[in-house]
Amino acid sequence: MTSQKIPLDFIKSMLSANGFEEMSDEMINLISEEAENSISELFNEATKFMRHSKRKILTIQDINSALKLKKLEPYYGYNPSIPLYYQRLPSNHEMFVRQEQSIGLNEAVHCQFFPDIPRDINVGCHWLTVEGVQPLIPQNPSVVVQEKQKQEETIETKPIIQHSLSKELQMYYDMVVEILNTNNKEKIDECLDSVRTDSGLQQLTPYFIRYISNHTLANLGSLEILANMLSLVNAMRENQNINLEPYLHQLFPVILTLVVTKQIGTNSYDNHWNIRVQAAAIVKKLRDRYSEKYGRLHARLLQTYLQAITDATKPLTTQYGGIVGITAMGPRAVYHLLVPAMKSLKERYLGSSNECKMCLQALFDAAFMLAEKMKEMMMDSKQNVCDELRDKKKELVADEFNIDETFKTLHEIFGDVIVPTSLVDPDIKNITL
């Protein structure tokens, strides 16, 4: 190939077929030499692929590999397993064409893989929209495709950020977890004091929250572990350098579970009542801290407690949690949620079981707390210090307590134990704060 040039007549025919009619002989010779060098170099590279594949016959795949190596477009439509045959054109002996197989019409008509006849090019019209609604016709894009494209456009993928802890923080976390799983009260108190006062624990907060969530739900039968978990939450809450706001959605469900769940401990004789009271108190403290940023937090918590007591079929332990939860929310919640249903609730808890007695005691504590607050309001009203009371009792601002009617209701239900008869006086006026 390198010793014989490409025929000039072939070069002229190719140039003429591509629209170059008039070319000088000198230019044709240069093109012939350039084509010869390119083909020679291509075949040399293809031969290397052939030898590397341990073959003695050059194939189309070798040519395509050489073209890809030179970053040129390979040839498509040539099957390496089928040999190529070329023949001269009768009208031009300098041109060679590929010899193709002849297919009969009968065979072509009955071919299963024969493509569909293409449509003729034409111009038509269709409705894009009808009164603002796109009709479902083939010419318009599908609604499903549009929704999928819209979702793909709105999806924003963010890379995962690795959260690394220092060796000191890892050791501190392991130490806290190890101590809280023991029964050494002295070490536990020291550990909680450290969590309460340490100023560099914000990075450990998500790990503590996950530990509290998993460990609490996995150990509902152990009152000691539950008490330690609540103490850890309280210590983190009291630490002014720890921000629990990003983790409230993980923290509240766990603590509310301890308030209204059906069973805590291994049996009904375990003193799980204190765990529920402690959990309700922590919920109230978290609400006081973050209710200004989350306006519906207070209402959602009360809704959870209210659902626990309105359904009489719920376990008495759950109803007890609802009562102590509402009581922890303050006199305003007791006045609006418990007082209207207090009589029916007392009748519900007149049984002899320990659960009934505890529910009745919780109801009594709620009524006693409300009565004491109302007595304090009445005394302050008589001493004309309502302005000071307004500043001191934030929960009672802008709310009307019908003291005389409430005293009568509590007196009818609980008698002189909560409201002495001397206070059930129709002359006592309503106090509005």
Residue pair 203/214 in contact by the 8 Å Cβ criterion: no
pLDDT tens-digit readout, 333-362: 988 888 888 888 888 888 888 889 899 889
Instruction: Give the mean pLDDT of 183-210.
Output: 93
For 167-292, CATH number out of 3.30.70.20, 3.40.50.300, 1.25.40.770, 1.10.10.10 equals: 1.25.40.770
Quick: pLDDT tens for 292-346. Answer: 888 889 999 999 999 999 988 999 999 999 999 999 999 889 888 888 888 888 8
CB 378 within 8 A of CB 431: yes
Q: Which of 143, 122, 125, 145 is nearest to 134 (CA)?
A: 143
Do 297 and 310 contact (CB within 8 A), yes or no?
no
Mean pLDDT of the chain: 80
For residue 366, which of 305, 289, 286 has the smallest C-alpha distance? 305
Q: Quick one: tokens of 205?
A: 């907060």
**What is the model's pLDDT at position 74?**
84
Q: Which of 92-106, 340-354, 377-391 has the lowest mean pLDDT?
A: 377-391
Is the pLDDT at 416 greater than 70? The verdict is no
Cβ–Cβ under 8 Å, residues 70 and 88: no
What burial class does residue 330 get, using C-beta atoms within 10 Å of its C-beta: 0-12 exposed, 13-18 middle, 19+ buried? buried
Give the pLDDT confidence score for residue 100 in this predicted structure: 67
Confidence at residue 253, expressed as pLDDT on a 0 to 100 scale: 94
Q: Which residues of 58-94 are buried (b: 16+ CB within 10 A; e: fewer)?
A: ebbbbbbbbbeeeeeeeeeeeeeeeeeeeeeeeeeee
Indicate the domain borders of the chain: 8-98, 167-292, 330-433
What's the rounded mean pLDDT across residues 421-433? 45
Q: How confident is the model at residue 173 (pLDDT cuts 50, 70, 90)?
A: very high
SS3 267: coil
Write down the CATH number for the domain with range 8-98.
1.10.20.10
DSSP 283-329: HHHHHHHHTTT-TTHHHHHHHHHHHHHH-TTS-HHHHHHHHHHHHHT
Mean per-residue pLDDT, 50-57: 89
DSSP string for residues in 361-388: HHHHHHHHHHHHHHHHHHHHHHTT-HHH
- Angstrom distance (rounded) from CA 305 to CA 308: 5
Please report the pLDDT score of residue 347 as a whole number: 87
Structure tokens belonging to residue 282: 């922590």
Model confidence at 61: pLDDT above 60: yes
